[in-house]
Structure 1
Amino acid sequence: MPRQSDILDLISDYKSKGEPFALATVVRTVSVTAAKAGAKAVIRADGTITEGWIGGGCARGAVLRAAREALVDGQSRLVSIQPDERLSEHQVKSGETRDGVVYAKNMCPSQGTMDVFVEPVLPRPNLLICGASPVAIALADLARRMGFFITVCAPAADHTGFGETDRLIDGYAIPADGSERDYVVIATQGRGDSAALKAAVEVPSKYLAFVGSRKKAAALKTELAKSGVSSSQLETIHAPAGIDIGAITPDEIAFSIVAEMIEIRRRGQRTL
């Protein structure tokens, strides 16, 4: 059996690297089962167990399937693995979900019951803010409180205008360690608009928005097109940034942008 400290060290390592994983914990066992309550396993997005143990093949398939699904929709699951006769008593079928519990059939000779809680651990979404305008400063503050990892790209002399952030970069160059899951907002507002926007369209992102009027955004897109930026890249730009709530002040504009990012982030996760 792996030591608890090994699993905790791995969890800490994955979190520091921003790598998504699921933590499976056995919360209850009835009759004879290979794993006992408290047993844990760390499961990666590809379905592999990198540390820990939750029993043999009787439980592995159902738990791994639940872990993969949890990492997609961000929702925790309770998996109850039971022998066929117990499923019949509860009038449920293997693979059925009822009252938040996913039922699976235990086909091992032990015929025990095991309940496993599967919790997805997802990295904080990364928001890159280009610029040090009042909107940029308000956005960094509000988005951080909403759980975003904040990276600010702005001239070093402007960094002092920000409150608490996670990373500060001198200038408008987008860091090379980004991914298609990143959110990028250009809030330069007249100071380096073209340079920041051109750098942003060259990197993958989940959301790219420009803080400014439609007229200003159209002019910048025309300028970027002349410099060789493709039409498909230009189409990824949300302009003006944020949900239309009639925002006027920097705080209100920041609020509308955060609301739009949350809508995109949570899209498809909430069920009625």
Structure 2
Amino acid sequence: MNSTDLSVLKSAVSWLKAGHPVAIATVVQTWGSAPRPVGSWLAIRHDGQVAGSVSGGCVEDDLISRVQSEILTRNTPEMVVYGVSQEEAARFGLPCGGTLRLLVEPKPQLAILEKLLVGISSHQVTKRIVNIASGKSTLEAGNRNDEFTYTDSEMSTTYGPRWRMVIIGAGQLSLYTADFALASDFEVIVIDPREEYAEGLNRNDVTFIKGMPDDVLLAIGVDPHTAVVALTHDPKLDDMALMEALKSPAFYVGALGSRKNTQKRKERLLDFDVSKEEVERLHGPVGLNIGALTPPEIAVSILAEVIAVKYGITVPKKI
């Protein structure tokens, strides 16, 4: 789940708990060049406040008006279609004659949304299934590979935790890497036990944990939506983190260092009860080979490699 979808969910829960009538609109089908993909959603409060987007601003004003005047008075989901004709597509600003079908739920269940939020916060993948006839929804365990589905009888959407990057070390390169990771919609955690770095990382957008990397990784729990990047250039810290990260289900594990130092690191890890298969998961030297020299350039190369692995793109082995 990206930060925008998570914000929609948090807003809907907050508004419903405060007693506000709320409708949730979900993109269930698109044709042509509709601006938002299926599964995108929008929370609409009775007074016109919104969170999220279903069209990038093309149809939201009209949808808000329809929700306020009609849909919130109903008890079951309503299908709303925009852009059926070229004229209507032009009227609503849908590019290239795009068409948009939205399922609008006028009575989303607070208890279900709260449970969904708890699951996401606990790094669980959860599927929400909405019965079209009744408007009632249920939750079940999901899989990151589950696709959005919509039929005449139900809508199924899978939500997962935000992708997370854990950075070992709080030096200059780590801060640039954190900035690019945040811009790429990762939740960022920086771990560093060194006293001299504790004062330098006073930011609200990054979680800083002062502690030994291996202990912290075990404490926070590394899941398949987590990337671990070791950037201290201190084997005593990086290797400790890598010993745990390579045994975890992290989708990406990388470490700073030259080819020669990476080979030595792999040999050391084999001596510390890390299997050959686990060691071969290590991306090192960390980052794609784009000729990067400066800390910002190296940070770009790191994010590029992490994103490639996230989306299943094969990256070349370096050693």
TM-score, length-scaled by structure 2: 0.55
- Gap runs ≥5 in structure 1: 28-34, 46-67, 81-113
Partner of 2:311: 266
Decide whether aligned partners of structure 1 residues 167 and 25 sit closer, same or farther in structure 2, where only a CA change above 3 A counts.
farther
* Per-residue CA distance 1:3-52 (angstroms, 9 max, x = gap): 8222222222222222211223356xxxxxxx24xx1413322xxxxxxx
Q: Which has the higher contact order (CA 8 A, sep 6+)?
A: 1
* Per-residue CA distance 1:145-185 (angstroms, 9 max, x = gap): 32222222212532443332135242222234223442111
Partner of 2:145: 73
* Per-residue CA distance 1:107-149 (angstroms, 9 max, x = gap): xxxxxxx4x3322211112222111222211112221232222
Determine if contact 1:74/1:122 at 8 Å carries over to the other structure: no
- Match of 1:189, SS state, is coil
Determine if contact 2:218/2:244 at 8 Å carries over to the other structure: no
The one of 206, 212, 216 equivalent to 2:261 is: 216
Determine if contact 1:129/1:150 at 8 Å carries over to the other structure: yes
Find out whether 1:148 has 2:148 as its counterpart. Answer: no
Decide whether aligned partners of structure 1 residues 73 and 224 sit closer, same or farther in structure 2, where only a CA change above 3 A counts.
closer
The one of 206, 213, 238 equivalent to 2:251 is: 206
Determine if contact 1:179/1:204 at 8 Å carries over to the other structure: yes
Equivalent-residue separation in structure 2 for 1:156 and 1:149 (angstroms): 22
Question: Equivalent residues in 2 for 1:15-34 (5 A)?
Answer: 15-26=120-131
- Gap runs ≥5 in structure 2: 1-74, 76-106, 314-319
* Per-residue CA distance 1:200-240 (angstroms, 9 max, x = gap): 33444221111121111112222333444432232121111
Partner of 2:200: 161
Partner of 1:84: none
Decide whether aligned partners of structure 1 residues 23 and 159 sit closer, same or farther in structure 2, where only a CA change above 3 A counts.
farther
Partner of 1:242: 287
Decide whether aligned partners of structure 1 residues 218 and 42 sit closer, same or farther in structure 2, where only a CA change above 3 A counts.
same
Find out whether 1:42 has 2:85 as its counterpart. Answer: no
Decide whether aligned partners of structure 1 residues 16 and 251 sit closer, same or farther in structure 2, where only a CA change above 3 A counts.
same
Provide the aligned C-alpha RMSD in A.
2.8
Aligned residue pairs total 201
Decide whether aligned partners of structure 1 residues 117 and 169 sit closer, same or farther in structure 2, where only a CA change above 3 A counts.
farther
TM-score, length-scaled by structure 1: 0.63
How many angstroms does 1:199 deviate by?
Answer: 4.1
